[in-house]
């Protein structure tokens, strides 16, 4: 191992890189061997690819110069004990979910990248979402190499505007091409201010603002805010979450009523509870 190429970052609370990368938040990281380590590499924002690998002793190795960025991106500095302390104390379902995947983390992606990715994810399985993401990156993103392997950043909004809706349809987007194109245009023209959404608006305001975009409903807005701007009170509801809330929590309401109940019941870090439950449901139910 070349010390000049990798730095070790200790992690206080258990962290599972594999689970985090395969929990429905992130779709472009690729398995790679580098300096004798089995890990993953991918671009964080517009930056050159980051390599990360578990060290087997409670920490991770990260490519030199990327440690601070990756620590924030993967939530390695998050106080998990404090987060868990905000959950309902007698919730045995959630306790089982946490025990099933204790090392999961909520990623903190660039908001545009996260928003655009979930716009293209509508009614798609994970493999399809990944395929679309990789195609968009390869056609419109910035190319990089790491150890001879090609990686691509996620395209900026202007790239999609320049391409146009017709070309985006050729990326297997179908009707989602229109939503992606219109979102890119709204962001590039300043109609939607993502920096203001991320830094100045509360959760409700930010959600309403994102839902002004064509094709963006509650679920996509909540996913973008949860995985892209650290709004851990956001609680995306899809078929898996609706199923677990119905079957294991005996909730019979739907839509806004279910959303409101979940956010109030699970508290200020409801999004973290959602991710534990989501991964648990997908793998066990």
Query: How confident is the model at residue 3, as a pLDDT?
Result: 55
Place of tokens 């910035």: 142
Region of 83 please: left (phi>0), alpha (psi -120 to 50) or beta.
Answer: alpha
pLDDT at 2 over 60: no
Measuring CA to CA, which residue among 203, 8, 9, 25 is closest to residue 101?
25
Asked whether 59 and 66 are in contact (CB, 8 A), the reply is: no
Q: Which residue has the higher pLDDT, 124 or 166?
A: 166
pLDDT at 169 over 90: yes
Q: Is the dihedral angle over the CA atoms 33, 53, 69, 6 positive or is it negative? A: negative
Sheet with 6-10, strands from edge to edge, namely 6-10, 59-63, 50-54, 37-42, 30-34
Q: What is the pLDDT of residues 93-150, one digit of tens each?
A: 999 999 999 999 999 999 999 999 999 998 778 889 999 999 999 999 999 999 999 9
CA atoms within 13 A on the CB side of 222: 20
Query: How confident is the model at residue 124, as a pLDDT?
Result: 76
Place of tokens 């920490």: 59
Asked whether 72 and 108 are in contact (CB, 8 A), the reply is: yes
Residue 31 pairs in a beta bridge with 40
Tokens representing 74? 């993967």
Mean pLDDT of the chain: 95
Phi/psi of residue 40, nearest 5 degrees? -135, 155
Confidence of residue 217 (pLDDT cuts 50, 70, 90): very high
What is the three-class DSSP state of 259?
helix
Query: How confident is the model at residue 58, as a pLDDT?
Result: 82
Confidence of residue 285 (pLDDT cuts 50, 70, 90): confident
Q: What is the mean pLDDT of residues 181-204?
A: 97
pLDDT at 1 over 50: no
Q: What is the pLDDT of residues 53-89, one digit of tens each?
A: 999 888 999 999 999 999 999 999 999 999 999 999 9
Percent of the chain with pLDDT over 90: 93
Confidence of residue 165 (pLDDT cuts 50, 70, 90): very high
pLDDT at 271 over 70: yes
Place of tokens 């078929």: 239
Output Rg (C-alpha) for the chain, integer angstroms: 19
């Amino acid at each position: 191992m070349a010390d000049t190429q990798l730095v070790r970052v200790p992690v206080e609370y258990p962290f599972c890189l594999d689970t985090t990368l395969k929990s429905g938040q992130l779709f472009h990281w690729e398995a790679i061997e580098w300096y004798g380590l089995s890990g993953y590499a991918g671009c964080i924002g517009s930056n050159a690819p980051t390599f990360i690998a578990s060290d087997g002793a409670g920490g991770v190795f990260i490519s030199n110069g990327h440690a601070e960025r990756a620590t924030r991106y993967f939530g390695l500095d998050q106080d998990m004990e404090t987060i868990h302390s905000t959950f309902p104390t007698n919730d045995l379902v959630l306790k089982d979910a946490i025990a099933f995947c204790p090392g999961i983390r909520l990623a903190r992606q660039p908001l545009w990248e996260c928003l655009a990715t979930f716009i293209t994810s509508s009614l798609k399985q994970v493999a399809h979402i990944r395929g679309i993401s990789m195609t968009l990156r390869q056609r419109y993103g910035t190319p990089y190499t790491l150890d001879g392997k090609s990686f691509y950043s996620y395209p900026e909004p202007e790239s999609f505007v320049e391409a146009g809706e017709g070309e985006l349809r050729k990326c297997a987007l179908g009707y989602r091409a229109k939503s992606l194109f219109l979102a890119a245009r709204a962001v590039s023209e300043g109609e939607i201010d993502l920096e203001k959404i991320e830094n100045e608006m509360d959760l409700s305001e930010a959600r309403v603002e994102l839902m002004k975009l064509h094709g963006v409903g509650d679920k996509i807005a909540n996913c973008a805010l949860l995985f892209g701007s650290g709004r851990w009170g956001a609680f995306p509801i899809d078929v898996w979450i609706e199923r677990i809330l119905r079957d294991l929590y005996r909730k019979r309401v739907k839509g806004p009523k279910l959303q409101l109940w979940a956010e109030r019941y699970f508290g200020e870090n409801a999004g973290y509870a959602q991710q534990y439950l989501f991964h648990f449901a997908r793998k066990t139910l």
